[in-house]
Amino acid sequence: MTTNLYTVVGITVHNGNAKVRFTDDMARRVKQFTKGGASRCHFVTLLTAMSKIDALKFMLTLSEFASAEDQATINDTLSDREKEARKGEVKVKSKPSLDAIKARGNKAKTTVADVLDAVK
């Protein structure tokens, strides 16, 4: 997962498909999407540079994106980004206790007599 920070976030609708977009250059992106035929192109400048997940959480609080459709689009994108972030996490197993290690060692000990009995 990337750790890029963005200063502008918004929603575009192109051919009926709404998507959340991230950028650092609002003018270029608005021009790019309107030229490409987007029926809606609504961007806002963030208070500070944010990661995608933080920007999505911030978008949920803005009145500009309060409609049910916008909230659904943002929540879908947020859940996808959070799943992606969890994929990269390393799960650490807890260390076994000293007693557990000793018990495994005692259980694994075999004697010559055990081996000979097993061969018979």
pLDDT at 87: 80
**Residue 114, pLDDT above cutoff 60:** yes
Look up residue 65 and give its two tokens. Answer: 């994106």
> Does the pLDDT value for residue 51 go beyond 90?
yes
Position 76 pLDDT exceeds 90: yes
Task: Write out the two tokens for 72.
Answer: 């659904």
Report the share of the chain in percent with pLDDT over 90.
54
| CA–centroid distance for 93 within its chain | 22
The sign of the torsion formed by the CA atoms of 96, 102, 103, 106 equals positive
pLDDT band at residue 18 using 50, 70 and 90 as cut-offs: very high
41/26 Cα distance (integer angstroms)? 10
Q: What is the pLDDT of residues 81-107, one digit of tens each?
A: 998 888 866 666 677 777 777 777 776
